[in-house]
Amino acid sequence: MRDAYHDDLAAVSATLVSMAAMVDNAIVRASKSLLESDRALAEEVIAADAALDSVQHELDNRTVDLMARQAPVATDLRVLVTSLRMSADLERMGDLAAHIAKAARMRFPACAVPVELQMTILEMSRVASDLVNKTALVIRDRDIEGALQVERDDDQMDRLHRQLFITLLDPAWPHGIETAIDVTLIGRYYERFADHAVSVSRRLYYSVTGEYAAPQS
């Protein structure tokens, strides 16, 4: 019975890792649809978000069932409780990727991002993908040092987000209010995506240690 229980705990972790892979696929494809004005790809990303939602719901149901049947304590209880929070963060990351794809769809056949900001958005996409991949490894390996590094790596996304706003607030901005709003929202989606990756990593740190990590800088 205990072997089956620990197999169930391992399956929870494995599902979270799978969710992170789905999220990475979503953010990479959403970014591609945005920068290449690819409406068909954007539609695929939006439609695929339902699959991530289904995985989250199934995982949460399984986790609650384990808690009810096994009455876990100490580390096991932390693992299960934090898995509920982590799955919610990962699901929200998928939603943010879908929002980026919706921005691409809304402005098709034009690109929602002006040419002079496309490299910044491309770099934000790269950082987002890197963060979620590192988060998957943190979950898989229960790596508390890696969890702290994810938070430090988020500083790069914050710098890019600030860089985006410097351009948007330039009095010489030539693209009008509508485009400025689009870019503001898109930048916010990437920034929040990274914040959720940090949240997942911090929850993993708590799951392993029973303590909250000090803010990293």
Phi (first) and psi of residue 80, to 5 degrees: -75, -40
Q: Which two tokens stand for residue 211?
A: 């303590």
Please give the Cα distance from 9 to 156 (Å, whole number). Answer: 33
Q: Answer yes or no: is pLDDT of 178 > 60.
A: yes
Buried b (16+ CB within 10 A) or exposed e, 63-87: beebeeebebeeebebbbbbbbebb
Amino acid at 31: S
What domains appear along the chain, each with residue ranges and CATH number? 2-209 (1.20.58.220)
- 3 has a pLDDT exceeding 80: no
Pair 81, 164: CB distance under 8 Å: no
Cβ–Cβ under 8 Å, residues 24 and 133: yes
pLDDT band at 215 (very low <50, low <70, confident <90, very high): confident
Task: Grade residue 213 by pLDDT with cuts at 50, 70 and 90.
Answer: confident
At 12-68, the pLDDT tens digits run 999 999 999 999 999 999 999 999 999 999 999 999 999 999 999 999 999 999 999
Q: Specify the pTM.
A: 0.94
Q: Which among 96, 103, 93, 91 is positioned nearest to 43, based on CA atoms?
A: 103
Q: Is the pLDDT of residue 212 over 90?
A: no
Q: Kindly state the average pLDDT of the residues 3-18.
A: 91
Q: Which amino acid is at 13?
A: S
**pLDDT, tens digit (0-9, with 9 covering 90-100), for 69-101:** 888 888 889 999 999 999 999 999 999 999 999
At residue 217, the pLDDT reads 65
pLDDT, tens digit, 9 for 90 and up, residues 116-141? 999 999 999 999 999 999 999 999 99
- Containing 214, the helix (H) or strand (E) segment is none
Q: What pLDDT does residue 140 have?
A: 96
Going by pLDDT thresholds of 50, 70 and 90, the confidence category of residue 2 is low
